[in-house]
Structure 1
């Protein structure tokens, strides 16, 4: 079954069987007692899994209609901004750790505390897991699974090059050497021009006792000198042939199908661990997964556990209780968990996690092993992401890195601009 990244009405399971879903495809609902709009971004595989869970929920909850919309890349955030301006945010919508603080402070999210634990039965997740989606003392979302940053790699290309598969203690210096070798062997880019990835920059800073955003006050936890060193690393590697070209990297919208690995333009990709499933679906060769490189052997990894993705409830919803019930089903129902697998991360619920383990395919099992591998490697969760972090990533960091990769500015100028322009976006 193919699911297009457009609006579709999630109707009864029988009506949907074997059909493709596209804009304007409607199916009979049980009743109009409660109509919920759900919106997310992601691959066709994610859309299908979400659709199947919604159908399952409707089969068990007569009177509920769920209208879903799957978007890709920057189109999601544009649509969300439009909805916020029109005070018509979807009843249930997807966020992630880098955006939940920003959007909750801008009034997009409904506080969920009143639904815990009567409707949202999340006690089994553990108090620390709820902290990951708590902003200014209020719960603004429910994590859909655990993940962390990761490095994916094409195992076949490594074998062809005669290079041992990377391990968890790989350093940044070692990474640079193997990326250049892989580029020469494969005829592709060795890896991404990852100066552009805020989460990789954050891990790199954490390995040095710093952070992307300040722990004590509003602002940054790094200096212009730190940024220049970061930019120098990637420019040196790009010029040595170890990264994809600038015109390839600028295509990346932080989605699987625009990432250089997903496009078949590199041997290595850097992304979130739960996305390995989506990458393997579109890549013929077997992928491997390991941690991001680190500053030195035995040094801090810079990694931390994070909720892979988050369901939040729109602040303007007229169906808060119904939205909370759907989210509770999504994270706690064992049948739903078997449909979702670990595509949105390793389930938060211990019961669901235990129930799905036997059915996971080898790729899915690898993501669970990876999350378990990190147990002794992760550091403390970073301070809450400040308001404006999304704009900093999309409108400051990425454009500056693109100019850098096209050699329009120097690493020193890029670092100065990152601080100056970034300060204008970051708010309390």
Structure 2
């Protein structure tokens, strides 16, 4: 695949447990003293290696700061971060994502970064629209590390083996049901391998579903933006596929803790997986067959796509950080340095900096190019960014959305009971503004 610079990312976007890291430096007033920072993130081993390599690069030109890395896997990250926050021991630099930035900033865990603009935090080149992706109302609580969107990955070899066409941007939910039914007949192995994941477990799949119907997961005031009937319709769709035995069963689906390695696609249990576009790099490292990337199925008949551009991941600075200028300088290097960008590639999303995007283009491998091509393709299809997630949104996913879907899959709840329970439990954990 060959991508020219003009198609790399349209000008509207450009405008608009612990591991010790190498010694890093803060520069400016702190260049002459030793500063110790703690940094934490979740993700694959590949992400950890890239992060460590950027830290080493930073240390070569910024002596004087020691950064201690604390990578954490899967869902264990969030309980640990919450415990650290409660104990006033949150790391100096920590990774968040769109649904958790409003939550943690609302709880007082994040430092407002506005006072570090434009130096040492130089992100004006992102364009105001992109800078604002790290903003919660009037305060800047995070820096977006890359741009992505929701997506569907699929094992191209399985579709070829079945003699079936791969999903396209026009594949509808009805098309998907027929496609995975045929795919399962051709490549499914009872008790071992299925065509599709159980999409009812993924709040972001439901988010797309809602967007196609003119609704959002969260309302402007921080409550839920959907009704019992909305989630009932969603559950009914997936229950129909469950009854046909073309999606992974409950005992396989429930293993997924939001880590790449435990997704049923990466585990070799399904031919398809729902996730975020930047994760194509991490998935491909674990899967022998070539992966394709497509949009989440569409509603058809001219309905909105349900997709939107989002910050793939976010760096924030802990409110209790003793050396915030050093932390801001590290983040600035992370998102602006061209050599750092070449190391990071698009694993954390398409770089926010136009100059970094331009510089890394020639070095992208085919998998990375596919990620960029997907983000480009969405430009004329994406919707507006949805209302900010309220406090409790992370708990909504981890302790409400997935558990209720699992109870439905195990047969402990009917579709109607699960829909009622989801709405009731969601209202209980979300704190309205």
Give the shorter-chain TM-score range: over 0.9
Distance 1:378 1:224 in 2: 26
**Paired residue for 2:200, among 171, 181, 195?**
195
1:297 CA displacement = 4.6
Find 1:248's aligned residue among 246, 252, 262: 252
* Separation of aligned partners in 2, 1:32 and 1:390: 38
In the TM superposition, what are the counterparts of 1:295-334 in structure 2 within 5 Å? Answer: 295-334=299-338
Task: Tell me which of 19, 22, 32 is aligned to 1:8.
Answer: 19
**1:184: how far off?**
2.1
- Structure 2 equivalent of residue 360 of structure 1: 364
Please tell me whether the aligned partners of residues 193 and 234 of structure 1 are also in contact (alpha carbons under 8 angstroms).
Answer: yes
> For residue 146 of structure 1, what is the aligned residue in structure 2?
147
- 1:404 is aligned to 408
- How far residue 12 of structure 1 moved from its aligned partner, in angstroms, is 5.8
Tell me what 1:109 maps to. Answer: 110
Q: Which runs of 5+ in 1 are unaligned?
A: 1-5, 14-29
Deviation at 1:136, TM superposition (A): 2.6
Corresponding position of 2:182: 181
Quick one: distance in 2 between partners of 1:314 and 1:189?
Answer: 43
State the partner residue of 1:26.
Answer: none
| Contact 1:190 1:241 (C-alpha < 8 Å) held by counterparts | no
Larger RCO: 1 or 2 (CA < 8 Å, sep 6+): 2
* Aligned-partner Cα distance in 2 for 1:68–1:184: 46
Structure 1 residue 275 displacement after superposition: 0.1
- C-alpha displacement of 1:162: 0.6
* Kept after mapping to 2: 8 A contact 1:101/1:135: yes
Tell me if structure 2 keeps the 8 A contact 1:262–1:282.
Answer: yes
Deviations 1:234-253 (A, max 9, x none): 11111112211110100011
- Matched residue SS, 1:10: strand
Please tell me whether residue 212 in structure 1 is matched to residue 217 in structure 2.
yes
Gap regions ≥5 residues in structure 2: 1-16, 25-30
Q: Please name the residue that 1:346 is paired with.
A: 350
Question: Aligned partners of 2:44, 2:160: CA distance in 1, in Å?
Answer: 29
User: Is 1:207–1:299's contact at 8 Å kept on the other side of the alignment?
Assistant: yes
Which residue does the alignment assign to 2:92?
Answer: 91
TM-aligned CA deviation for residue 124 of structure 1: 1.2
The residue matched to 2:88 in structure 1 has which SS? coil
Structure 2 CA distance, aligned partners of 1:298 and 1:247? 37
RMSD: 1.3
Counterpart in the other structure of 1:235: 239
Equivalent residues of 2:391, 2:430 under 8 A apart: yes
Contact 2:338–2:356 (CA under 8 A) maintained in structure 1: yes
Pairing of 1:368-407 with structure 2 (within 5 A): 368-407=372-411
CA distance in 2, matches of 1:148, 1:66: 30
Give the match's secondary structure for 1:211. Answer: coil
Name the SS of the counterpart of 2:205 in structure 1. Answer: helix
Q: CA deviation at 1:219?
A: 1.2
Residue equivalent to 2:9: none
> 2:70, 2:293 → 1: CA distance?
30
How many residues align? The count is: 406
| Residue matched to 2:295 | 291
User: Does the CA-based 8 Å contact 2:23-2:65 persist in structure 1?
Assistant: no
- What's 1:20 paired with? none
Query: Per the alignment, in what secondary structure is the counterpart of residue 154 of structure 2?
Result: strand
Q: 1:273 aligns with which of 274, 277, 284?
A: 277
CA distance in 2, matches of 1:117, 1:368: 28
Contact 1:31/1:64, CA 8 A, preserved across alignment: no
Deviation by residue 1:257-315 (Cα, 9 ceiling, x = unmatched): 01110111000000000000000000000000011101115421100000000000011
After TM superposition, give the deviation of residue 32 of structure 1 in Å. Answer: 6.6
Q: Deviations over 1:31-90 (max 9, x none)?
A: 971111000000000000000000111111111111001111111111101110110110
Check the 8 A contact 1:170/1:297 in 2, yes or no: no
